[in-house]
A = this chain, B = another copy of it.
Amino acid sequence: MELAEKEAVPRRKTGRPLSFDRDAALEQAMLTFWRYGYETTSIVDLTTAMGVTAPSLYTAFGDKKRLFLEAARRYAGDPEAMAQALDDAETACDAARAMLTSAATAFTGEATPRGCLLASATASGSSASADVQQAITDIRGGVAIRLRARITRDVEAGILPLDLDVAALAGMVMAIIQGMSVMARDGMDRPELLAIVERTLQAWPVCRT
């Protein structure tokens, strides 16, 4: 539940120090979950990638679920920073374009797995991990909420029509992001994804002005 509270500063004063870089290990865990998914990544996969033994992993991160959620939070980045980026864009259309192009770029990185961790890692799973799936769903929902808020701001500013279906417009952007994740995993390259982004933005009301 409130596992984010004691996480930041549980710093011990005495005792043997950590023999590995916790942050670097978390990064490797994130990349492993990104590539193989939550349930379909084994502890052995993780310990191998992170370069630590199983007991060290459990001491440092709790268990597989908490490690995954921490990795997912690291992947998602600071929600406030995303909200700020959306707000800083001149228009909601610019904000959406920035979201989509950065997604298309991130999904086709050379040094990372393809696609989106949040879209693929818990896309399916047993009922035993329903709570983890819900947590990731909530992160996605948070992005959608912030995007809708940014669009609504443009409606209220008179930039977008008053009768606009804000949820549908935001939903289109979210759907393209999740869809591009699948297609990037299928091997589609970055220019193709960016072309999809530009085509999709043609659906934006009066964005072309």
Contacts and interface: CB of A to CB of B under 8 A. Distances in A.
Interface string A28-48: 000000011111111001000
A142 to B, nearest CB: 12
A140 B179 CA distance: 12
A89 interface: no
Interface in A154-185: 165, 167-169, 171-172, 174-183, 185
A47 B142 CA distance: 38
A201 interface: yes
- Give the number of times this chain occurs in the complex, counting copies: 2
A104 to B, nearest CB: 10
Contacts of A185: 123, 137
Contacts of A41: 126
Interface in A118-147: 119-121, 123-127, 129, 137, 140-141
A74 B159 CA distance: 47
A2 interface: no
B123 A199 contact: no
Contacts of A140: 182, 186
Contacts of A36: 124-127
Contact of A174 (B183, B195, B203): B183
B171 A175 contact: no
A88 interface: no
Contacts of A200: 172, 175, 200, 203
Interface string A184-201: 011110001101101111
B192 A183 contact: no
A202 interface: yes
Interface in A40-92: 40-42, 45
A110 to B, nearest CB: 19
